Structure 1
């Protein structure tokens, strides 16, 4: 017999509109979406709360915080993945692309050493059915690192890899066009002295000149051959955008200027910005504010980046600001559009035939409060 559930008396948010209605779930899929309250006794009353599609997160390094909860502390990877997963699903995220950084520029960092353990722990937990959100992998390739191409070729064989982004965090361009911001960020993050910072800058600039262009070309070609979604990162100029489009990228992560965001949007790249940028009211790097891109109509996707709970909060704030985004359009930035950009045609909106990945949420004192989360009609929070 088919397994059915009815969620009723909900403020349903579809791709086109919001209305008080009911949603029928059958065998893990959305079987019906109707206006009005169900009269059937088995229907679950959601009390007028929002019923939203499960959120799609394309770029989060939240797992790293659980792998290294304090300086010098290495936490067991299997435990870190499950703790990360619990935080992700509690934020309403039902599909998450865990970002693994290839090519750590931190002279004292452990990202490179942690990579194999992180990847293995995610794959094992997912295969065993222990994760509540569905986990995919996003390889963030630091093009100016000498070992990036070799590591990419090793890690891309993992079947969970579905998204690759190409970035160059060397000073004087893109995210760090202002060298003083680069100094401020990395000296504070890595506790470098002035002399160490001077040497660090010279090394990163030399590596960028030697490796970035050839790594970008090689990795982009391989991604296309494998059918992987490809993202640019921190494009700042129209020339950057045109280069990204020329490499067939579908996502523009964190463009740093209005020119780059408009150019990306015009060339068909989906513009992704940080949800914390919306919640905080601006960029921590001093670059373009996501709210400004929304006012210009060129914000397509939000990502929680380093703070999972920011994702739904930012979407709800986006719908309240002075821009062209009503609630369905704002929710699409954290569900339907990221799903499409990543090639996931089976989820991302409340529509008959799609996966029953759903979130019940309400507003309380300006905050988004998650009540329940379903993944393929199974309650996971």
Structure 2
């Protein structure tokens, strides 16, 4: 265990709940730290249900191609916590992370605060102390009461597609969830709005208009579409004729459009737009695994990994499979017990030759494999249960050597897989 791991374990115990949406504790701690959030480089603040991470990765690739130094904050991490904090282009070093965590722990002085809040404060402290041109800030959950929503005047806000997820925290309906996401919009600060359902768009635009925030919305101020082997982005400033995104799946064209709209608002060049769609890296989003113990067990079968976990993620994954060469696709699925598993699996039913249900190892909130299997059966997928991913992959590969094996259902599961097979 590293020094930062030991501190992180202590920080987990400072609040009885993993999620307790409020800004009061965050404001208290930031004041004790001397308000580092007021000293970080210009912020692009990104909220939404799906596509936040991919959109952020493409914005970062475009900015860095223009020579900018870019901080980035994301969550959750996959294999190591330090993946969440990128300083001027590089992941934070473990010793630097440990120093920051010790400082925020001391400043907090044992008071109740959630793990996400206190670690977000550590990220702000790092960003304030390291020179850069931009800070890309991804919302953790929701927006209005998220720990990242303490930036009074970001350079831009961005809202990627909003759909139903985290209903126990954000509300049961799409308009209620959209209102929480729109809470990051600030007075007179431009907001980039990605493709939205009408109910969500109305709420987001109403919030922006009430704050006199300039709106740059998909379908009104910019458009994006697939074109032959590439894609076209067009707005009032002109047209970018670009390759398809290197991130796999048709939904990545929409994410690219949102990223390009943000880059256009920041004055990006044609070369930066090209880099945004060709250089972005974002693991566990339809990622082909090419080495590691699981690849060896697959015995020549294709092995893929995807961290999507809600109904919109299931739809995006199904659309991605539609574009891939035909071959039997077998799912290995583990999910959290807070998710709409039937909603996630329903779009995948026509694509899946089978589903092997597993628990997420080491995750207290895993959905039991028996429940995953029951949900899969309810949407018409032939199902079995395995002790773990290794047993599932070996069994599938032995029965159908030419298969496509797709491990899916959770970023937490994806992180466990990538630690040994990334």
Tell me if both proteins adopt one fold, taking TM over 0.5 as the criterion.
Answer: no
TM-score normalised by L of structure 1: 0.32
Relative contact order higher in (CA < 8 Å, ≥ 6 apart): 1
TM-score normalised by L of structure 2: 0.29
Q: Which has the higher helix share?
A: 2
